A and B are shown apart, each in its own frame.
Chain A
């Protein structure tokens, strides 16, 4: 059996400069047509969609192009008065994923007063289990993503004291693997996205010391492929969103210099669509707000100065994190 590395080849005619204006136009018009097929079919994750678009706009200094008051009104309508949680959209059920997205959006707008904060705290507290893990909602799915949502959300609300932090950390550490990485639950294979969630949780809980930093960071830098792009697991194709999951983790580990920044930047720029605007997962694919945020945020981590600094733990503008006086931990080397 002969082995070939899974990767892509960047074409000569790819975008090589950052098309900021196009991206801002793309996001500003996204969802203007409420009957757009794509838009309607993604209603079940609308709240996260708003977070992706707004954060991307904030990083470009263009957030005034988003309908602020409508968004805040929408969020208040999505809060469930009984559980306190927030849903993806009106008519959908509350879930920790969308509760976090809503809190992130309100934090950026400095309008956390618009929702019932005690309700959100109550909701998140209700989802923590005896072993420190978190349910995503009352139906009992467990995932380290939800642990991250919980601590990120509560820290943005200055209420991290409401849950058992030691147990939260203990559960996340029980998901550590032979390669120093993390999966979605104990026993699950390492995956760059879940590594970001687990490292982020430890960063907020100030327990970065518990990581096997050298092993983990080596595994992360081995995600870089000859094209410059990063994959999320060994022997997988590169994908733009992994430039965020991997690079933010490496930033928290203070080892961002373990990847080649120049070729990664070229890969990210190649994922832009110079006709429609926006970024896609790989060069030549259809763009979406999710990859547009992670493309911009990745470039920001790489030091691109036409984008505002992004905080690697929260994936929000550093200025918001500073305003809230949050100090997520970065590992010292």
Chain B
């Protein structure tokens, strides 16, 4: 079904082929019939082994035939104590799988049979299997079945991890365009060289070494994408934490927003609400009803009144306790904002390396200003090194990428939105404003980090490119009273979340059906402008 080119043939040729196929089919059907009969009769003998073997050698994917063979081999083993004889039987089976894999190197069945034989026999030769992998990977360095088989063999004969790591180095030196080898390398890198002291995924000197190696690879052939993915991963390989980003306490609703999805056990173990220095007991409910959520509602019966002392004790990842003091932003409306940051925590040494590489990237970009991967990498470097200082340049680059790499314009749009929102969040978390308004150079079509704005009572999302797809995400706006979606691309009101709004502005969404809005209006008792 894959890779079979349709060829035009003469009538004569067609007839000849047809005849040939009919012959083949007759033999096939006859063999299959005979196999079925013998199986029904439970005659699990050498003849059946031969019959199934013949069919499999040209049709390795007929899984039932392999099952029959395993039944036979198991029977043989039970009734035969001669180790040498059994060894020969197993060798023949390995031979058959090898033959089948030559016809179809991607046959799941043949690979599995090989694993089964080696796990079943008493005298597996793992070294030989490892060599077989080496040979096969020379023929096709990207066959993921062979790589999987190699990992299976390695899990059995356990060569040193370093040997396998060096094997990927060797494969990559042969050809950098080997995504399979980069992948395998990523698995071993974090096992071999974790940063035990600093808690980062990769130890410093090795992180640097990999960055250098991958840059070398990427610069050798900037159009080969393999190395770029590895590089992007290296840049993201930093320590990350789960943070409580804000909380809002009012007489009617208490919400807690987290930087990542967390479950109830996590929230209830790590978070304590204190009113006038007394711990409040209550029940945690997720905002969406899912087990993991970014916004949690805390239900309790302690009255919230004016001028009380509200604070939250939150246990961060290293076990330390954080106190986040609440502020009464308006009457009986308490907000606690944590310090937030989106910068990645690299070590000094890695930062130096990144700065060096940024320089080289910029030079390369001067020579080839339209090279997508060089432009993208430069941009990612800028963001990683100092997102704030380089914000304007990074966004400009992403705008250029939308043109150079048109197919992925939607991705760049969302990345621009994400980085712009990160920047705005940092300043919004430093003031006491309860209103959210986006006014970026280009409109946004997605709303990352929206839970960070869960405390806002007024949310202005007008003049963006939002579609009705974003409705379920709005559920985190639990304290919002005034919501504007004016001038967006809404098409339906389906899936609009249950919010305690006072006013909803839907003006300027040309594709919204008026009848639908009128029905919607009847359902809710807030003011809908349309």
Give me the interface of A with B, judged by CB distance under 8 Å. Answer: 1-5, 35, 37, 40-41, 44-45, 87-88, 91-93, 95, 137, 139-141, 143, 177-179, 183-185, 187-191, 206-207, 209-210, 214-215, 217-219, 221-222, 224, 226, 228, 233-236, 239, 254-255, 257-260, 263, 273, 280-282, 284-286, 288, 290-291, 329-330, 332-333
In this complex, how many residues of chain B approach chain A with their Cβ under 8 Å: the count is 71
Known: A40-B29, A207-B291, A330-B472. 7 other contacts (CB 8 A): A2-B221, A137-B63, A141-B108, A189-B144, A233-B144, A259-B410, A260-B409
Cα(A263)–Cα(B448), bound, Å: 28
Say yes or no for B407: interface residue by CB 8 A criterion: yes
Q: Are B186 and A178 in contact (CB under 8 A)?
A: yes
**Judging by beta carbons under 8 Å apart, are A333 and B446 in contact?**
yes
B1 at the interface (CB under 8 A from A): yes
Asked if residues A332 and B473 are in contact (CB atoms below 8 Å), the reply is yes
In the complex, what residues of B have CB within 8 A of residue A184's CB? 144, 148
Contact yes or no, B223 A291, CB < 8 A: no
Top-6 shortest CB links A-B: A209-B261, A178-B186, A257-B410, A3-B221, A260-B407, A332-B473
Question: Quick check: is B391 within 8 A (CB to CB) of the other chain?
Answer: no
CA distance A209 to B472 in the complex (A): 14
Does residue B78 face the partner (Cβ distance < 8 Å to A)? no
B6 touches A44 (CB 8 A): no
Residues on A with C-beta less than 8 A from B151 are: 187-188
Which residues on B sit within 8 Å (CB–CB) of A187? 148, 151, 187
The residue among A91, A190, A217, A273 with the most chain B CB atoms within 10 A of its own CB is A91
Contacts of A273 in B (CB 8 A): 6
B445 touches A234 (CB 8 A): no
Residues of A within 8 A of B66 (CB): 139
Contacts of A239 in B (CB 8 A): 2
When distances are taken between beta carbons in the complex, the residues of chain B under 8 Å from A258 are: 408, 410-411, 414
Tell me how far the C-beta of B395 lies from the nearest C-beta in chain A, rounded to whole angstroms.
Answer: 17
On whether the beta carbons of B6 and A188 are closer than 8 Å, the reply is: no
Nearest B residue (CB) for A236? B142
Query: Would you give 5 A-B contacts (Cβ < 8 Å), ordered by A?
Result: A87-B64, A189-B180, A254-B469, A333-B447, A333-B448
A93 in contact with B175 (CB, 8 Å): no
- Assembly CA distance A330 to B471 (angstroms): 12
Collect the chain B residues with CB atoms within 8 Å of residue A183's CB.
144, 148
Q: Give the contact stretch, choosing among B81-89, B225-233, B301-309, B347-355.
A: B225-233
Select which of B63, B142, B224, B290 is within 8 A of A92 by beta carbon: B63
Cα distance, A207 to B232, chains bound together (Å) = 25
Is B520 an interface residue, CB under 8 A from the partner?
Answer: no
**Are A189 and B1 in touch, CB under 8 angstroms?**
no
Residues of B close to A280: CB separation below 8 A = 4, 6
B418-436 near A? 1/0 per residue, CB < 8 Å: 1000000000000000000
Say yes or no: A284-B179 contact (C-beta < 8 A), given A92-B64, A235-B226. no
What's the nearest-Cβ distance from chain A to residue B168, in Å? 12
Q: B residues within 8 A CB of A257?
A: 410, 445
B193 interfacial by beta-carbon distance below 8 Å: no
B6 lies within 8 A of A41 (CB): no
Instruction: Tell me, yes or no, whether B321 is within 8 Å of chain A by CB.
Output: no
Q: Does residue B464 face the partner (Cβ distance < 8 Å to A)?
A: no
Q: Which residues of B contact A285 (CB under 8 A)?
A: 3-6
Q: Measuring CB to CB, which residues of chain B are less than 8 angstroms from any residue of chain A?
A: 1-6, 21-22, 24-25, 28-29, 32, 36, 59, 61-64, 66-67, 70, 108, 112, 116, 142, 144, 147-148, 151, 175, 177, 179-180, 183-184, 186-187, 220-221, 223-226, 229-230, 232-233, 236, 261, 288, 290-293, 406-411, 414, 418, 445-448, 469-470, 472-473
Task: Point out the residues of chain A lying under 8 angstroms from B112, CB to CB.
Answer: 139, 141
In the complex, A5 Cα to B339 Cα: how many Å?
45
Q: Assess the A210–B261 pair: CB atoms within 8 A.
A: yes
Chain B residues, Cβ within 8 Å of A254: 469
| Contact indicator B116/A179 (Cβ below 8 Å) | no
* A187-B150 Cα distance, complex, nearest whole Å: 11
Chain B residues with CB below 8 A from A91, complex form: 32, 36, 64
Q: Which residues of B contact A218 (CB under 8 A)?
A: 411
**Contact assessment for B225 and A224 in the assembled complex, using a CB-CB cutoff below 8 Å:** no
With both chains docked as a complex, state the minimum distance between the C-beta of A165 and any C-beta of chain B, in angstroms.
Answer: 10
> Chain A: which residue is nearest B36 at the CB level?
A91
Please name all residues of chain A whose beta carbon is closer than 8 Å to the beta carbon of B1 when the two chains form the complex: 281, 288, 290-291
Shortest distance between the CB of A297 and any CB in chain B (Å): 16
Q: Select from chain B the residue with minimum beta-carbon distance to A205.
A: B291
Question: A227 to B22, alpha carbons, bound, how many Å?
Answer: 39
Contact between chains at B5 and A224 (CB < 8 Å): no
Q: Chain B residues with Cβ under 8 A from A209's Cβ? A: 261, 290, 292-293
Shortest Cβ distance from residue B468 to the other chain A in the assembled complex, whole angstroms: 12
With CB as the reference atom, state the residue of chain A lying closest to B40.
Answer: A91
- What B residues does A189 contact at CB under 8 A? 144, 147, 179-180, 183-184
Closest to B446 in A: A333
In angstroms, Cα B418 to Cα A47, docked, is: 45
Indicate if the CB atoms of A235 and B142 lie closer than 8 Å.
yes
Give every chain B residue within 8 A of A255 (Cβ-Cβ).
410-411, 414
* Among A93, A140, A215, contact of B64 (Cβ-Cβ < 8 Å): A93
Contacts of B67 in A (CB 8 A): 93, 137, 139
Q: Give the Cβ gap from B156 to chain A, nearest Cβ, in Å.
A: 13
Question: A188 vs B111: C-alpha distance in the bound complex, in angstroms?
Answer: 14
Which chain A residues lie closer than 8 Å to B62 at the CB level?
44
Q: A40-B28, A284-B5 are contacts. A260–B221 as well, Cβ < 8 Å?
A: no
Contact of B470 with A333 in the complex, beta carbons under 8 Å: yes
- A212 vs chain B, min Cβ distance (A): 9
Shortest beta-carbon distance, B411 to chain A, in Å? Answer: 4
Residues on A with C-beta less than 8 A from B414 are 255, 258
A288 to B6, CA, bound (A): 12
A1 neighbours in B (Cβ, 8 Å): 175, 220-221
Supposing A188-B147, A206-B291, A258-B410 touch, asked if A219 and B229 sit within 8 A by C-beta, the answer is yes
Cα A139 to Cα B113 with chains together (Å): 10
Is the CB–CB distance between B186 and A3 below 8 Å? no
Do A178 and B142 touch across chains, with their CB atoms under 8 A apart?
no
| Chain B residues positioned under 8 Å from A95 (CB to CB) | 63
Shortest A252–chain B CB gap in Å is 13
Which residue among A40, A95, A209 has the maximum number of chain B CB atoms within 10 Å of its CB? A209
